[in-house]
Amino acid sequence: MLSRRLFISACAWFIIKFPSQSYGQEAWTSYRNARFGTSIAYQEFFEPDPPPANGDGQSFTGPEGANFRVYARQNADNETPASHLVELLADSSHANVTYSHIRNDRLTISGVRGNLIYYEAYVFSGRGVLHAFEMEYPAKFKASYDPTVQRMARSFKGP
């Protein structure tokens, strides 16, 4: 009887101490653009769409209408984070901005488009390249997607 209680207690302790990877934890993977070196980590439930012919990036589709794109382009006009923000704010698709921030070579902007929340981050590299991460997801799933977007944004890099 004592050995059975000890066994059950040990099993309970093991389950609490070492939970299953699939329970309550999402699987993550990463994408790196071969042409520009832009990279990001993302949850595996996002499915890659067919890649563009020019190899400038990749778009992904997720559940509940969420999607994101990671791409880069030559910064031929020598845009800065400040000048790009002015350009974005002049565009009607950025009419309902709730947050914008510039720090060094990085611009972040987010807001609402209809029933979607958008988040965009841009890195202006010293190599004349503009790296971009753009995501949209339904506002009703904000609490679920915000931690995902935060982790993706922290992982987003452009050399």
What are the structural domains of the chain? Answer: 22-155 (3.40.1000.10)
Share above pLDDT 90 across residues of the chain, in percent, rounded to a whole number: 81
For the entire predicted model, the pTM comes to: 0.82
**Confidence band, pLDDT 50/70/90 cuts, at residue 11:** very low
Q: For 35-69, how does the pLDDT look when each residue is reduced to its tens digit (9 = 90+)?
A: 999 999 999 999 999 999 999 999 999 999 999 99
- As a whole number of angstroms, the distance between CA 80 and CA 88 comes to 12
Give the DSSP per-residue string, 67-96: EEEEEEEE-TT---HHHHHHHHHHSGGGSS
Q: Using the predicted structure, report yes or no on whether residue 75 has a pLDDT greater than 50.
A: yes
Rounded to whole angstroms, the Cα distance separating 137 from 77 reads 31
d(CA 105, CA 51): 27
SS (H, E, C) 124-144: ECCCCEEEEEEEEEEHHHHHH
